Amino acid sequence: MADQTTDKKKIVLSGIQPSGAQFTLGNYIGAIRNWAALQEQFDCLYMVANLHSLTVRQDPAALRQNSLRALAMLLAAGIDPEKSILFVQSQVPAHAELAWILDCYTMFGELSRMTQFKDKSAKNADNINAGLFTYPSLMAADILLYQADLVPVGADQKQHVEIARDIAVRFNGLYGETFRLPEPYIPAMGAKIMSLQEPERKMSKSDPNPNACIYVMDKQEDIVRKLKRAVTDSEARVCRGEGRLGINNLIAIYAIAAGITPEETEARFEGKGYGDFKLACGEAVAEMLRPFRERVEDLMKNRDYLEQVQRRGAERAAALAARTLAKVQKKVGLLPRP
């Protein structure tokens, strides 16, 4: 990445949590698959957001393994560590340092209105910790440290970019221009893939129903089986319509996997039933994910390379983050590092 003081490309920052076994089809379609294409147009930073995972109790060994797998998945999705800065969040201490400062410029009411805090509190009633409440400040630190212009997010994640902007505006108003104001970057298609069993809900790796979610590392037979069992309706026509959440979701999935439009999908399956369509959808998704899955498996066998990517990414990210952190520390009155 070129020096941001001279480079005119916009800066993109995004991350994905390593919690859970692996990424879902929704993560792949709505996020990481699109990130590789952004490298040609923008200066990109992509991180494994493992600090955010700590708001839910983690098995330490599993978190370390999942963090490595997340790194491998980003590489397999086409993230080039020579074109982009690819790093693990916890290996750049400036994230946690800036998060504490921003905590002090984030209002209690703002945090209490965050949708994900309400959702996660309901799911983890026995562990409503302070980190779960204040993690939007850490997310704001992730974004603002690198003076990001754009943040690729799903449609349901806009709120996190908005609170980062609010915090930046408040800080800039008090101390002068310090942070660039980020904008959400939402893909036009496939930004939100829904559950195969409850299509009114987003596909989630925390769903207790194993048939509701496709994982990127699923075998072909498992992908086909899950899509055959996907909830649709009694109309048995492969066409979109208001209130037809199940078939709308499958058409969106197939169109992306097959590389065609939803309209072309409807034309291709005109006169055919759900059985034919679901089978074709499963095969298309499995074929789309096959080279990705094989690449991840190869990378996980090459720990030396993954270590090299981590080290280089942390160095490059830390160098950029240090500029913003030093400026913020000076403005709020903290003594410089000796």
Contact assessment for residue 165 and residue 182, using Cβ atoms and an 8 Å cutoff:
yes
Longest C-alpha distance within the chain, in Å? 74
228 is catalytic: no
Is-catalytic flag, 330?
A: no
Query: For this structure, is 120 an active site residue?
Result: yes
CATH of domain 11-185+302-332: 3.40.50.620
Q: What is the pLDDT of residues 120-171, one digit of tens each?
A: 766 777 778 888 899 999 999 999 999 999 998 866 678 889 999 999 999 9
The residue from 202, 301, 330, 331 that is catalytic is 202
Quick check: 277 and 254 in contact, CB under 8 A?
A: yes
Q: What are phi and psi of 145, to 5 degrees?
A: -55, -35
Helix (H, G, I), strand (E, B) or coil at 194: strand
**pLDDT the model gives residue 48:** 96
| Alpha-carbon torsion (259, 260, 266, 272), positive or negative | negative
For residue range 213-247, list pLDDT tens digits in order.
999 999 999 999 999 999 999 988 999 999 999 99
Band of pLDDT at residue 1, cut at 50, 70 and 90: low
Domain ranges of the chain: 11-185+302-332, 220-297
Q: Assign 202 to helix, strand or coil.
A: strand
Task: Note whether 11-185+302-332 and 220-297 share their fold.
Answer: no
According to CATH, the superfamily of the domain at 220-297 is Tyrosyl-Transfer RNA Synthetase (1.10.240.10)
Q: How far apart are CA 98 and CA 217, in angstroms?
A: 35
The helix-helix angle for 60-76 and 303-332 (nearest 10°) equals 100
Instruction: Enter the tokens of residue 244.
Output: 């037809």
| pLDDT above 50 for 91 | yes
Tens of pLDDT, residues 191-218: 579 999 999 998 988 788 989 999 999 9
> Of 10, 158, 192, 205, which residue is the catalytic one?
205
